[in-house]
Amino acid sequence: MKTLVWVEHDNASVKDATLHTVTAAAKLGEVHLLVAGSGCRAAAEAAAKIAGVAKVHLADNAAYEHALAENVAPLIVDLMGHHDAFLAPATTTGKNVAPRVAALLDVMQLSDILSVEGEKTFTRPIYAGNAIATVESSDAKLVITVRGTAFEKAAAEGGSAAIEDVAGAGDAGLSSFVGAELAKSERPELTSAKVIVSGGRALKDSETFEQVIMPLADKLGAAVGASRAAVDAGYVPNDYQVGQTGKIVAPEVYIAVGISGAIQHLAGMKDSKTIIAINKDEDAPIFQVADVGLVADLFTAVPELTGKL
Amino acid sequence: MKILVPVKRVIDYNVKPRVKADGTGVDLANVKMSMNPFDEIAVEEAIRIKEAGKAEEIVAVSVGPAKAQDTLRTALAMGADRAILIETDTEVEPLAVAKILKAIVAEENPGLVILGKQAIDDDSNQTGQMLAALLGRPQGTFASKVEIDGDHVAVTREVDGGLETVKLALPAIVTTDLRLNEPRYASLPNIMKAKKKQLDVKTAADYGVDIAPRLKTLKVSEPPVRVAGVKVADVDALVTKLKELGVA
């Protein structure tokens, strides 16, 4: 089977989400990559070095700069003439583009796969991760999004794939990019961090969140996350949200501060290697999944912890 | 402009789903069912656009069992004008739902279709994008802000790095994210009025759409269970644990 993997990149380097997806694709067969963007040859060169990659398709065109689904989906559909499976990471870009590709190919997509069980059989979470379905596709081609935390990263070095330019139709004339407000942070990215410190509604307001959570995260070199309640209350922007409808994370260590542990939050972090919870309510559901729990008032415990590290 | 709002009847978000002992699915017998939360946000957004004078009619549509009439009545009580149920007793996959919606769009000619980004049962996150693809129209997914301006709509999207704004030519498809709005509750008088609003019942065959599934569910199982660990007495003990883990 020949697979085509959507590469997430910043024009110069390849994002980690791609490496997890390559691992899933390699379980199906030969791995080809698609680097689409504008001025992204450096990213294609980086992608060509990923271990196990046979070929990199490079579509360098101003119309592909912001990965607008209307423009990139036809490009992918063209390439799928010579591939059997399309895989994208289950990032907001992958989730936006893949179903558009699937419908154009008349294929029912497999979203958020957790494992590859056979050529056409996969597991995926349903009901916010409260159940795992094993599903088999009957379509001639496969369109898949991959949950990054469920697959190891492929080695970023070691490959020497050929880079082939592809043209594509360019701008479909349906949509345009206006602008973005992307968070700039010195901290590691949530989805690839080794350590995450997350705060919940108990943090009271954005100033308190900043004063309590950030120093601990800085001490640990950790990424900062938040529960949906904290995001909805406006303590932090939406891109901090860990949970079923936010980011799915699986760091080495996840420290949940003042987070009660709603199902939808647990769905986003329960695959973390070690979970540490600090909460003053000893009956909080978070303690049912935590490896290490501290029942304490976070406003005294967290500064004390930060001070002692 | 007309707005089409597809809604789905799903397990209530407060209910913890239980996997059936025989591994064939999730037990939905005698379980509270409600409108998919993201779809409630879609209905609310459509109503707000209408209230702002930028739309004249809101048509709610659902693909599901006869009971999905309740879900449509909720949409009508919130403020939708009329409803269409495509009745079926089998589970319909997102691709087939998108095909049915395409046929309804051909009949109704809405300027906007607003739907939830995903349903909280199968968590597919596909229908809106698929509908946009089948219609050859632009898509604004995971919306946290929708602004109609003449023959275009600006959609601010919740993306992994923050927010992104795209401008789409109308007619367009928008899928909702959590922070787009807070849906209203239907008032009792509006619930009473909704009972008299038009609700047409049709079938997929009426639209000539094949809804045979492409995916076969072989098994549904419980996720691996995490067991609770230890509780430490104080911050010093926690520091020791963090040192053992090699992160401090």
Using an 8 Å CB-CB cutoff, list chain A residues near B11: 127
Instruction: Give the model's pLDDT for residue A240.
Output: 93
Contact between chains at B239 and A308 (C-beta distance less than 8 A): yes
Contact between chains at A127 and B178 (C-beta distance less than 8 A): no
Chain B: residue whose CA lies nearest to A309: B248
Domain boundaries of chain B, sorted by first residue: 2-244
Q: What superfamily would CATH give domain B2-244?
A: HUPs (3.40.50.620)
Instruction: Give the model's pLDDT for residue A307.
Output: 96
Instruction: Give the model's pLDDT for residue A264.
Output: 83
Residue A75 has pLDDT above 80, yes or no: yes
Would an 8 Å CB–CB cutoff place A92 in contact with chain B?
Answer: yes
Contact between chains at B241 and A93 (C-beta distance less than 8 A): no
Which residues contact residue B227 at a Cβ distance below 8 angstroms, ignoring those fewer than 6 apart? none
B231 pLDDT tier (thresholds 50, 70, 90): very high
Fold identical between A2-165 and A190-308? yes
What is the ipTM score, two decimals? 0.96
Residue A183 has pLDDT above 80, yes or no: no
Residue A293 has pLDDT above 90, yes or no: yes
Backbone angles phi, psi at A99, to 5 degrees: -65, -30
**Chain-wide mean pLDDT for chain A?**
95
Instruction: Give the model's pLDDT for residue A191.
Output: 83
Instruction: Give the model's pLDDT for residue B192.
Output: 97
Chain A: residue whose CA lies nearest to B26: A131
Q: Which tens digits make up the pLDDT trace of A5-60?
A: 999 999 999 999 999 999 999 999 999 999 999 999 999 999 999 999 999 999 99
Would an 8 Å CB–CB cutoff place A56 in contact with chain B?
Answer: no
CATH architecture of A2-165: 3-Layer(aba) Sandwich (3.40)
Residue A246 has pLDDT above 90, yes or no: no
Helix (H) or strand (E) holding A206: helix A206-220
Tokens of A111: 């979203």
Name residue A88's amino acid: A
Output DSSP code: residue A130. T
Sort B210 into a burial class: Cβ within 10 Å, 0-12 / 13-18 / 19+.
exposed
| Nearest-5° Cα angle at B218, A269 to A30 | 75
B225 pLDDT tier (thresholds 50, 70, 90): confident
Chain A, 214 to 243: residues with Cβ < 8 Å from chain B are 219-220, 228, 231-232, 237-239
Q: Which tens digits make up the pLDDT trace of A83-131?
A: 999 999 999 999 999 999 999 999 999 999 999 999 999 999 999 888 9
Contact between chains at B26 and A127 (C-beta distance less than 8 A): yes
Distance (Å, whole) CA A40 – CA A14: 10
Instruction: Give the model's pLDDT for residue A267.
Output: 87
Residue B161 has pLDDT above 90, yes or no: no
Contact between chains at B235 and A304 (C-beta distance less than 8 A): yes
Backbone angles phi, psi at A277, to 5 degrees: -125, 135
B14 pLDDT tier (thresholds 50, 70, 90): confident
Domain boundaries of chain A, sorted by first residue: 2-165, 190-308
Residue A121's SS3 state is strand
Contact between chains at B219 and A134 (C-beta distance less than 8 A): yes
Cβ–Cβ < 8 Å for B172, B148: no
Residue B248 has pLDDT above 80, yes or no: no
Contact between chains at A239 and B215 (C-beta distance less than 8 A): no
Contact between chains at B160 and A239 (C-beta distance less than 8 A): yes
Please, what's the b/e burial string for A171-201 (b: 16 or more CB within 10 A of its CB; e: otherwise)? ebebbbeeeeeeeeeebbbbbbbebbbbbbb
CATH architecture of A190-308: 3-Layer(aba) Sandwich (3.40)
Instruction: Give the model's pLDDT for residue B82.
Output: 98
Instruction: Give the model's pLDDT for residue A192.
Output: 81
Instruction: Give the model's pLDDT for residue A152.
Output: 94
In this structure, how many other beta carbons lie within 10 angstroms of the beta carbon of residue A253? 24
Our CA-based measurement puts residue A228 at a distance from the nearest CA of chain B, in whole angstroms, of: 9
Using an 8 Å CB-CB cutoff, list chain A residues near B23: none
Distance (Å, whole) CA B84 – CA B198: 8
Beta bridge partners of B157: B143, B164
Using an 8 Å CB-CB cutoff, list chain A residues near B122: 126
Residue B218 has pLDDT above 80, yes or no: yes
Our CA-based measurement puts residue A126 at a distance from the nearest CA of chain B, in whole angstroms, of: 5
Q: Which tens digits make up the pLDDT trace of A191-225?
A: 888 999 999 999 999 999 999 999 999 999 999 99
Distance (Å, whole) CA A102 – CA B73: 32
Residue A263 has pLDDT above 90, yes or no: no
In this structure, how many other beta carbons lie within 10 angstroms of the beta carbon of residue A290? 26
Would an 8 Å CB–CB cutoff place A306 in contact with chain B?
Answer: no
Distance (Å, whole) CA B90 – CA A241: 35
Instruction: Give the model's pLDDT for residue A188.
Output: 87
> Averaged over B48-75, what is the pLDDT?
98
Contact between chains at B95 and A106 (C-beta distance less than 8 A): yes
> Averaged over B208-228, what is the pLDDT?
93
Mutate to test the interface with A, among B100, B123, B134 (most CBs of A within 10 A): B123
